[in-house]
A and B are shown apart, each in its own frame.
Chain A
């Protein structure tokens, strides 16, 4: 018996992964989604008002990350951050050896690209490189979408981690210890679950100004309960199995039983819920932002874009692009989730009716 190897890499897990790969829709969705996630980590290289490379007077500059270059650094007359788009134009007009390489979308998520005499939101335009137009403050919609995605997805992942950490721990304890502890915890969880989350967030966000971490804290405090029920049941079930009894007979400690035996065997439950929880996290942040109780302005946010879009229906590009993005991301995640669920299903085929 080679129980020293973690079950994660067991043949069973390998088989599950193989089955997941066979579900093409889910598999490709996962690849696409991970690619998006990866790209979003380097959004600054694709969507930014800072240039990728500037060649000025024989020297190369890489302004994307790091300190701000002022206009004076490139021979201009101002002391605030260089407008690289104008710099590029200037270099091109002057026909010097200097040049600028801009990212694909030459706007940042915060920058107001406002035109005197015309009122935002501006429609999508190839010429101005606002491929999805601008919002009501003249900020590039594509940039806001991309950075908004990055914030939402990381928010959701971090939220998931903490929710599961607490939820799984307490659920496991309930199932494992049982008895009075279980009974008491169940009641507490029931009571805690009945607190209307939205109202609490509204009240709290009027007292403190929510930031990324404080919002996660608030949402974890009121969101960890969901996982406890599943873990409790799973632990109960696993606890009575023969292998647990066997390892106990061999003298294994409680922690060893929980971490080495019960948890790995309940992993399928946890993993099947992950994609849906991610989708839920994105949805929660978006709706809070929509209502104005989420992350403070001017943080790029899908919820804020939806709220702008619904107030300015005639500017179809705002609502159109954010809805399309939201639907795409949520559909991708759902596909992945379905595929994982199927892959972990002991019955090979499931027919949904």
Chain B
């Protein structure tokens, strides 16, 4: 989008005074919005369905803005079965939600959202747009599916270093009326999508409407450092759904630091910062990472201070280069990164910033010259005039 727009048409200009006044008036209307920290504790409850169940849940809505008001609203497919004890709260208050379930509901996830929505106030600030936050708490009711039905509630894997075991956590829900006997495995794929390992996690019984969490580690001693995808698959006799899968990525770290980026140009004739962005491929924090920088073909060099870099983290190291003795417009710089007794090197091209013309000084000199010229011309003309007068006399 260009900053200078096209000239407007006469038609667009028409309307003149009234439109201008209207628009200015529009923007002078004042609005303000409550700026506050707000939230709810806890954000959700989960229940298993029972016909005609009556349940009470308490949500503690809070705000650190004294006098901030919130409308409490109900949304979701269970809203018609739900009541709240207060439709509006002031500051921090507890809202009691009463849920009276019917005799039957659709199998699966049903819920009611209990929404705390900011009430906007007019406090005389400038105009524009404002934000209104709505905090969504919820009561979730799981209605059992007929027969057997499994879901994966969550699957996580954690980064590790090359040769170490990778931790995982897998939560399996039995959402059906009947118990299931689930057998589980984790397939690991490399960055190219090629399967590289399969881990059987065994078989176990999960009663209907209950869950189990599997937590253990994967032996990755056969895997190279790199990025991987783990896919958990749950099977059970009588499964009528698609295969139940969930995936997560993990990395196996290698004690290597990459020089990701460096300053492409620096100022001339002075001391200037030179940035080096480094990236860790190691899962653990590394202390004392620093770089030595050499301007190739010269004896100009400088170090950077040491930095601590978190696992798989990035950080910028900054050193200072003296360019007063560099005469080349562009040159090469060798960056040597030191970490844990190892080094990484990279040679990069750097150029000096283009010389900037001082237009103010040039303009000033021209102005002075013009003034001087004008003064000389004026003086000459004056002298000639005096000379002519002298001759007449």
Decide whether A and B assemble into one complex. no
